[in-house]
Amino acid sequence: MNNYLNSVFRTWILEQNAVPLKTQGRIPYWLNGTLFRNGPAKFSADENAGWHTHWFDGLAMLHKFSFCEGNVIYSNRYLRSNAYYSTLEKGQFNIGFGSKGGTSIKYANNTNINVAILDDRFVALTENPGIMEFNPVNLETVDVFNFDDSLGGQLTTAHPHYDLQTGRYINFTTEFGRAHAYNVYSVAPHSRKRDLIASVPTDRPAYMHSFANTENYVVITEFPLVIDPRDLANEHKTLIENFTWKPDHGTLFRVVRKSDGVILKTFEAEAFFSFHHVNAFEIDGGLVLDICALKDDNMVNHLHVSNLKGNTGEPIFVQLRRYTVKFDSRNVSYEAISPESIELPTINYARSSGKSYRYAYGISTNKERYENYPNQLAKADVQNGTTTIWRQDGCYPGEPIFVQRPNANDEDDGVVLSVILDGRNSHSFLLVLEAQTFEELGRADVIHHIPFGFHGMFTGEQYM
């Protein structure tokens, strides 16, 4: 095991509020607002024990970095879910996504994947339909967030989209029944009622972590990691154990027109797997989808903590691919658009989501210095195929978030924020990169490690 990674594979217990961070370099004065992060932080019912579960199943902790005139203030707090109370009060850890030996906790709501805004409320998300609301000022848990409708579904995605034209929140649920379906819906601003766009029938419900959204279409990319819903009756199996990799099925792209819910048709490609879509946009007679692609589902098992902590195993690299859907053909082709492995991708969302774009950012694994966790940041120019790297020995990055400079003209005029584990010194820091050059501007040091998290968001409002 890489000794630099030792510190991050430990539960972090301490909750803090409004701690000023020591900064190095220069934090831009124009960078005012709040970065919210979500991810697992407790991996055992015994606070002194090490990780013994799947990375996706640790108890959710929210982190907040507030920016004001070059200063950075940090807060963190556990989400008070049923899973949290069961772990602390009964010593029962939720069986969850992939954790063996746990307990099936009813309405666990361990929403540890992402954050979003719904009905002007801040919410934490995971792949189960339960959503938890939290207070953006002090990070205290408010309650379960309930929709004002009866739309069904047992699974969802943790990567909703916001339609740039209408401001609507878009997502889908996977509903098991006599006839299985993906229920694509949207929610108007200042509302919590889900309006059904389309119910897309399927005879092979698949595991999907994200999807694509363009100006006029929603695209559900159905990988051949599929489930027989009858298997869900076995409460001793983890969620992902119910899914089976069937590459002979290939990958299906199901395209839905948002204006009227018409399902155009199903497009086909060879088998592959992905957690994350990067972006998608429309071209004459078709669509383009940029996806972080894997040849199979081995990454799911790789993300067990015992594997992340080890030194063995086949290297896994994630290829940034561009898939092209032509409406007059059933087959979908692709090309690789970056030489680097890229995951946890982000873009200048407010400017480019669903549109033709140039730059994507992500965590990356150095091919010459492979480790079981990504060890560099990447900026991919998807138009010319080049990639710029930020790397520092012993440092392991989290998802990069792009923040646009006020009155910016260029797509990449702004900064990139990433929470980095400094393995050499066993603590984390918030890195601020100048997005155009991808060079460091400054950093804000946290005095402890922050366990590796997943996703987050930046808002221009200051929640101090």
Going by the annotation, the residues of the binding site for Fe cation are 159, 209, 276, 455
Residue type for 209, please?
A: H
Containing H/E element for 269?
Answer: strand 263-269
Q: What is the DSSP string of 202-251?
A: ESS-B--S--EE-SSEEEEEE-SEEE-GGGGG-TTS-TGGGEEE-GGG-E
SS (H, E, C) 133-173: EECCCCCCEEEEECCCCCCCCCEECCCCEECCCCCCEEEEE
Q: Is-contact 191 160, C-beta < 8 A?
A: no
Q: Please calculate the CA angle 456-458-461 and round it to the nearest 5 degrees.
A: 135
Q: Is-contact 279 352, C-beta < 8 A?
A: yes
Sequence ranges of the binding site: 159, 209, 276, 455
Give residues with Cβ within 8 angstroms of 434, minimum separation 6: 415, 440, 441
Quote the CA–CA distance of 148 and 200 in Å, as a whole number: 22
Residue 324: strand pairing partners:
288, 333
Q: Structure tokens of 98?
A: 């992939």
Q: What is the DSSP string of 59-93?
A: EEEEEEEEEETTEEEEEEEE---HHHHIIIII---
Give residues with Cβ within 8 angstroms of 227, minimum separation 6: 205, 206, 207, 242, 243, 244
Q: What is the DSSP string of 297-359?
A: SHHHHHTBHHHHT-S-S-----EEEEEEEETT-SB-EEEEEEEEE-EEEE--HHHHTTS---E
Quote the CA–CA distance of 161 and 347 in Å, as a whole number: 13
Looking at residue 55, the DSSP 8-state letter turns out to be G
Quote the CA–CA distance of 425 and 448 in Å, as a whole number: 9
Q: Structure tokens of 370?
A: 């492979």
Q: Buried (b) or exposed (e) across 155-176, using 16+ Cβ within 10 A?
A: bbbbbbbbbbeeebbbbbbbbb
